[in-house]
Amino acid sequence: MTFAALGLGDSMLAALRDVGYETPSAIQAATIPTLLAGRDVVGLAQTGTGKTAAFALPILDRLDLSQKTPQALVLAPTRELALQVCEAFEKYASHLRGVHVLPVYGGQGYGVQLSALRRGVHVIVGTPGRIMDHLEKGTLDLTELKYLVLDEADEMLKMGFAEDVETILADTPDTKQVALFSATMPPAIRRISQQYLHDPEEITVKTKTTTSSTITQRYLIVSFQQKMDALTRILETENFDGMIVFGRTKSVTEEIAEKLRARGYSAAAINGDVAQPVREKTINQLKSGKLDILVATDVAARGLDVERISHVVNFDIPTDTESYVHRIGRTGRAGRSGDAISFVTPRERGLVRAIERATRQELTEIPLPSVDEVNVTRLARFDDRITAALGEAERIDRFRDIVAHYVRNHDVPEVDVAAALAVVAQGESPLLLEPDSEPSHRERFERDRGERPGGFDRDRDGGERRPRTPREGMATYRIAVGKRHRVEPRQIVGALANEGGLKRDDFGAIQIRPDFSLVELPADLSRATLDRLEGTRISGRLIELRLDTGGPGRGARRDDDRPYRKPRH
């Protein structure tokens, strides 16, 4: 199927080639010919199926550019969706000369809208409330309207626009063509379609999966009291650009945003109580990078499309699958990768299973980032700050003289002066987290079941964890690179395999710790292999391969922690 086969004109086909569309989606293939034929349509399709082009292309294809009064009206539930649809119309109209599309929504000054209406507008995309305001004031003439679209009709009804929508439908010409698009078909939508649409064709598009394959979906089990700490640790350990955190209520979004700001993050809340100008300013800040974290309710995030959103966090996991799909759809758009992380209390496990059944995609359970993981990230960032400062040669030279003067006059080692300056720069906030005093919910759960988290056993006296015994013929070796050096298992395997001539079967378990890693390798490595591995580097550091003793040497290097050498025979 091609767009040309759907009956679209040359101008539309040229615009589609410009934006790189090659074949129509299912909703486009079914809807465009029907609308071009003049029939009303009820389209049941999820967000992200391409329904905007399904109604925009037929409307633009049939516009009478000589008519100055509005010919098409698209109603959308939120300002963000209205702007998104408006941008799509302008993109598809790139090969039509003189097409005027106007967004009309609350919170924007009337002056801009009134002057545009006086000049003449072909297509209006607006929210029901502001459209009703114009109709009541007599500033919007819809007497010659030919096309009316209800986009995300179920959301408009949820937001309380049912009466406005029905008034607009009733007060516009009976001869207009109507297209209604909705993700679901509740009784109210069914009634509207029966009352105001003329013999509509019902088009249903079922997607094979309702969540994008480009989104990595994870969740962690936390108690309600742990959520804020969990969010802070996620922010510290995840490499994110922009993030949306979803809360269930307005008060929750405001509380989260306030606590994040107190922790030094640039965060703001949007919800139903936020005035439109403030909402608009906040989203623009998110787009420009002045704001990193947006805390929002479901309704407030409708239609939000910000390219830099790399992560979505469900602080409160939604109770229905559709909300979950819509939330995580704010990331991983247009083929980009994205991450979705959900906080799940023990009683909400069933919601995870329901989401997996509905979306036919598995959510991966992850542990709460540990204190060690957070501290590794903090130390890496501290290292990066030092490296960046060392690049400022002129400033370094000035301070070098000051430090040298202090060392000479106070007889203090330079390293102590550097440490003192780090204390001054850090302020009252500790650089590193203290070890957890209380076990996480996951640890308590596993302890109660007689299991131990993380693949470790404890000594009978409850002492230090030790790795499980390697399988037969294998031994545990220690290498001097870990999380702090941003090393990953694949780098370890690649380096040891390439330098030592090892095969995949030669590797067992790999455990990456903050400052070192433990690798299971054959116990009988040859002297030649050990000699080759002696000079191996990962992330620029010598690995210093040696047998792991499993003792206290794991925490700090001991005098006898020399690189391992197999004795000569």
- Assign 103 a pLDDT band (cuts: 50, 70, 90): very high
For residue 171, give the H/E element and its range: helix 162-171
Residue appearing with tokens 């070192």:
516
Question: Does 453-554 match 4-204 at the fold level?
Answer: no
Every domain of the chain and the residues it spans: 4-204, 215-370, 372-426, 453-554
Centre a 10 Å sphere on the Cβ of residue 270 and count the other Cβ atoms it contains. 25
Report whether pLDDT(233) > 50: yes
User: In Å, what is the CA distance from 352 to each residue of 273, 314, 441?
Assistant: 30, 12, 17
Share of the chain above pLDDT 90, in %: 34
- The mean predicted confidence, pLDDT, of the chain is 81
* Cβ–Cβ < 8 Å for 418, 402: no
Query: What Rg, from alpha-carbon coordinates, does the chain have?
Result: 31
d(CA 299, CA 276): 13
3-state class (DSSP) for residue 133: helix
pLDDT value of residue 127: 92
**Where does 4-204 sit in CATH, by number?**
3.40.50.300
User: What is the per-residue pLDDT across 111-139, written as a single tens digit (0 to 9) for each?
Assistant: 889 999 999 999 999 999 999 999 999 99
Contact status, residue 63 vs residue 122, Cβ threshold 8 Å:
yes
> Mean pLDDT across the stretch 147-162?
90
In whole angstroms, give the CA distance from residue 332 to residue 336: 5
Contact 27, 51 (CB under 8 A): yes
DSSP letter at 436 equals P
Give CA–CA dist 6/55, Å, rounded: 13
The string of pLDDT tens digits covering residues 363-400 is 999 888 877 777 777 677 677 677 777 777 777 877 87
Residue 186: phi and psi, rounded to 5, are -70, 165
Dihedral of CA atoms 351, 357, 361, 364 in degrees, nearest 10, equals 40
Domain 453-554 part of CATH 3.40.50.300: no
Distance in angstroms (rounded) separating the CA atoms of residues 82 and 74: 8
In angstroms, the Cα distances linking 213 to 242, 301, 317 are 20, 21, 20
Name 181's bridge partners: 43
What's the CA gap between 114 and 292, in Å, rounded?
35
pTM of the model: 0.48
Total count of residues recorded for the chain = 569
Pairing relation of β-strands 177-182 and 41-44?
parallel
What superfamily would CATH give domain 215-370? P-loop containing nucleotide triphosphate hydrolases (3.40.50.300)
Residue 298: both structure tokens together: 């479901």
Q: Residue 240: which of 284, 286, 279 has the closest Cα?
A: 286
Which pLDDT band, with edges at 50, 70 and 90, does 144 fall under? Answer: very high
Sign of the alpha-carbon dihedral angle for 69, 72, 76, 78: negative
Q: What is the pLDDT of residues 20-60, one digit of tens each?
A: 777 888 889 999 999 999 999 999 876 667 788 999 999 99
Q: At what angle do helices 393-410 and 371-390 cross, to 10 degrees?
A: 100
Residue pair 114/95 in contact by the 8 Å Cβ criterion = no
pLDDT in the model for residue 370: 78
Strand order in the sheet with 309-314: 267-270, 293-296, 242-246, 309-314, 338-344, 215-221, 364-365
Q: Which residues contact 568 (CB under 8 A, 6 or more apart)?
A: 527
Rounded to an integer, what distance in angstroms lies between the CA atom of residue 188 and that of residue 232? Answer: 42
CA distance 478 to 349: 38
* pLDDT, tens digit (0-9, with 9 covering 90-100), for 72-95: 999 998 887 888 899 889 999 999
| Residue whose C-alpha is closest to residue 215's, from 106, 309, 351, 151 | 309
Is there a contact between 215 and 339 (Cβ–Cβ < 8 Å)?
Answer: yes
Tens of pLDDT, residue by residue over 264-290, are: 889 999 887 787 788 888 888 998 889
